[in-house]
């Protein structure tokens, strides 16, 4: 029921209670006039009832009205109670709620009944729910992305990267990387491939090798001798690299491995290499360049995210939807997962509520205290005013009955 309907209902019950008082007043006046010209005993009883009823009606009208305002606008002490005592009312209400509703013994039974996993699993398993969740998440992230200061984000990335890189010794990173490659024997694949490429090149370009041999030969050596020498050189080189390619234990491979190992050790331990890499690092990552890199990275990430979030069937949304489906299915079928989630929710909710009970009390107290006194009175009168009008009605009737009893006792026994 809205406030306007409540006001209409309150006016109706006020009019009823006031009308009953007016009726008693009319009866009192009529019986008073009749009593002067008529000696009938019943008139006295009716008059006594009406008289006492008016007193009861006025007394209860005063009591009810005094809760919300000054009766007749007169600043009588201890009236307009709600407006004058709103802060105390808020404090007491806050203490009452905390003490009677948020105590450990009261909230524990409700917390123990919490089972959110089934509900979440059922809800997430619905296509409509996923669409709503995805849309809301997309809208939130897009709103955040659009409101972010791009230059501030770029500076943040630049500063964090700069701090991280300052502590990194690139020579050790590269040296450790080479050592890792040696441990895994990955360099042997490179040696094998390189040997094959050189062998194939020699075979495919044997004529060029012959020409080179002839050009470097003495003029008095016959051409057939040069050709013979060139063939021997080309075949020998091709065979040599073929041996390296096919023999995993070839001495050249061992020699290459040893040289690479020595180089990796030098990289990690020689101060000269540390300075060399430091110079390279500083050259590549000057502040202006680092900020430029950071800005490019951020804008690329932002552009990709915006595009993915705006497209209805983007790769990101498809990935998220797939994982949501899997999670929802697990929630519905995996009892162990359900128990873990429900236990975590219960423990977290219980601790949070107990930790913040005073905050709930302060919230109620502050909220009530911040209300305008008149506004608070109006709010409460709208909520309970209708029932309070029955106090006026009951006061009228009970007052009349008490007056009638007193009149009867006095008439017969005094």
Tell me if residue 414 falls in helix, strand or coil.
Answer: coil
Q: Are 124 and 328 in contact (CB under 8 A)?
A: yes
Residues 6+ apart with CB under 8 A from 399: 52, 53, 54, 55, 56, 57, 59, 60
Taking residues 110-127, what's their average pLDDT? 84
**What proportion of the chain, given as a percentage, has pLDDT over 70?**
92
Nearest-CA neighbor of 56 among 398, 406, 404?
Answer: 398
DSSP codes, 199-249: HHHHHHTHHHHHHHHHHHS-TTS-HHHHHHHHHHHHHHHHHHHHHHHH-TT
d(CA 258, CA 250): 13
Q: What is the pLDDT of residues 92-117, one digit of tens each?
A: 878 888 887 888 888 888 888 888 88
The answer, yes or no, to whether residue 71 has pLDDT greater than 90, is no
6-15, 93-102, 215-224: which has the highest mean pLDDT?
6-15
pLDDT of residue 266: 87
Residues 6+ apart with CB under 8 A from 378: 68
- Enter the pTM of the model: 0.46
The answer, yes or no, to whether residue 221 has pLDDT greater than 70, is no
**What proportion of the chain, given as a percentage, has pLDDT over 90?**
11
Least confident of 30-39, 167-176, 239-248: 167-176
Q: Which residue is associated with the tokens 């008016």?
A: 54
Least confident of 76-90, 147-161, 194-208: 76-90
Q: Are 337 and 54 in contact (CB under 8 A)?
A: no
d(CA 401, CA 167): 94
Structure tokens at 89: 């009312």
The residue ranking higher by pLDDT, 87 or 19, is 19
Taking residues 350-379, what's their average pLDDT? 79
CA 384, 388, 394: angle at the middle one, nearest 5? 155
pLDDT of residue 401: 93
The answer, yes or no, to whether residue 218 has pLDDT greater than 60, is no
Q: What is the pLDDT of residues 135-178, one digit of tens each?
A: 898 899 999 988 888 888 888 888 787 777 767 777 888 888 88
Taking residues 312-331, what's their average pLDDT? 86
The answer, yes or no, to whether residue 27 has pLDDT greater than 90, is yes
d(CA 331, CA 115): 11
Taking residues 70-75, what's their average pLDDT? 79
The answer, yes or no, to whether residue 49 has pLDDT greater than 90, is yes
Q: Which helix (H) or strand (E) holds 6?
A: helix 3-37
Nearest-CA neighbor of 94 among 390, 408, 357, 399?
Answer: 357
Q: How confident is the model at residue 226 (pLDDT cuts 50, 70, 90)?
A: low
50-59, 86-95, 176-185, 362-371: which has the highest mean pLDDT?
50-59
Structure tokens at 400: 């009349």
Taking residues 370-390, what's their average pLDDT? 76
Residues 6+ apart with CB under 8 A from 350: 107, 108, 111
Nearest-CA neighbor of 83 among 64, 73, 63, 69?
Answer: 69
pLDDT of residue 407: 86
pLDDT of residue 53: 93
Taking residues 239-267, what's their average pLDDT? 88
The 8-class DSSP code of residue 286 comes to -
d(CA 386, CA 83): 19
Residues 6+ apart with CB under 8 A from 81: 66, 67
- Strands (E) in 14-146, as ranges, are none
User: In 311-334, where does DSSP find H-type helix?
Assistant: 315-333
The answer, yes or no, to whether residue 219 has pLDDT greater than 60, is no
Average pLDDT in the chain: 83
Number of other residues whose CB lies within 10 A of the CB of residue 236: 11
In the chain, domain spans: 3-84+372-413, 118-147+288-333, 170-283
Q: Are 52 and 400 in contact (CB under 8 A)?
A: yes
d(CA 235, CA 268): 41
pLDDT of residue 414: 66
DSSP codes, 239-281: HHHHHHHH-TT-HHHHHHHHHHHHHHHHHHH-HHHHHHHHHHH
Q: Which helix (H) or strand (E) holds 80?
A: none
Q: How confident is the model at residue 399 (pLDDT cuts 50, 70, 90)?
A: very high
Residues 6+ apart with CB under 8 A from 305: 141, 145, 316
């Amino acid at each position: 029921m809205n406030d306007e309907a409540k006001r209409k209902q309150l006016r109706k019950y006020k009019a009823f209670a006031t009308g009953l008082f007016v009726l008693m007043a009319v009866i009192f006046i009529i019986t008073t006039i009749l009593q002067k010209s008529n000696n009938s005993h019943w008139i006295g009883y009716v008059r006594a009832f009406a008289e006492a009823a008016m007193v009861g009606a006025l007394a209860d009208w005063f009591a009810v009205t005094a809760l919300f305002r000054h009766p007749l606008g007169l600043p009588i002490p201890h009236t307009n109670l709600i407006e004058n005592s709103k802060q105390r009312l808020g404090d007491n209400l806050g203490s009452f709620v905390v003490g009677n509703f948020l105590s450990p013994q009261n909230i524990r039974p409700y917390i123990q009944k919490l089972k959110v996993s089934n509900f979440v699993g059922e809800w997430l398993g619905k296509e409509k729910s996923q669409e709503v969740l995805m849309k809301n998440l997309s809208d939130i992230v897009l709103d955040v992305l659009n409101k972010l200061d791009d230059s501030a984000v770029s500076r943040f990335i630049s500063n964090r990267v700069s701090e991280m890189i300052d502590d990194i010794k690139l020579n050790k990173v590269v040296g450790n990387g080479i050592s890792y490659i040696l441990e895994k024997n990955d360099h042997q694949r490179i040696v094998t491939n390189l040997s094959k490429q050189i062998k194939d090149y020699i075979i495919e370009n044997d004529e060029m090798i012959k020409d080179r041999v002839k050009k470097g030969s003495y003029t008095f050596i016959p051409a057939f001798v040069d050709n013979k020498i060139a063939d021997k050189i080309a075949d020998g080189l091709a065979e040599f690299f073929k041996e390296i390619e096919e023999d995993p234990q070839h001495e050249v491979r061992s020699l290459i491995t040893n040289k690479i190992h020595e180089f990796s050790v030098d990289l990690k331990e020689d101060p000269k290499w540390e300075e060399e890499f430091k110079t390279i690092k500083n050259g590549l990552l000057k502040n202006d360049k680092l900020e430029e890199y950071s800005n490019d990275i951020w804008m690329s990430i932002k552009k990709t995210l915006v595009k993915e979030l705006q497209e209805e069937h983007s790769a990101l949304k498809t990935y998220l939807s797939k994982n949501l489906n899997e999670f929802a299915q697990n929630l519905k079928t995996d009892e162990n997962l359900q128990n873990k989630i429900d236990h975590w929710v219960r423990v977290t909710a219980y601790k949070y509520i107990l930790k913040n009970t005073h905050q709930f009390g302060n919230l109620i107290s502050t909220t009530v205290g911040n209300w305008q006194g008149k506004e608070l009175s109006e709010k409460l009168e709208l909520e309970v005013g209708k029932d309070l009008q029955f106090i006026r009605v009951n006061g009228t009737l009970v007052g009349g009955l008490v007056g009638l009893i007193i009149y009867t006792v006095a008439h017969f026994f005094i």
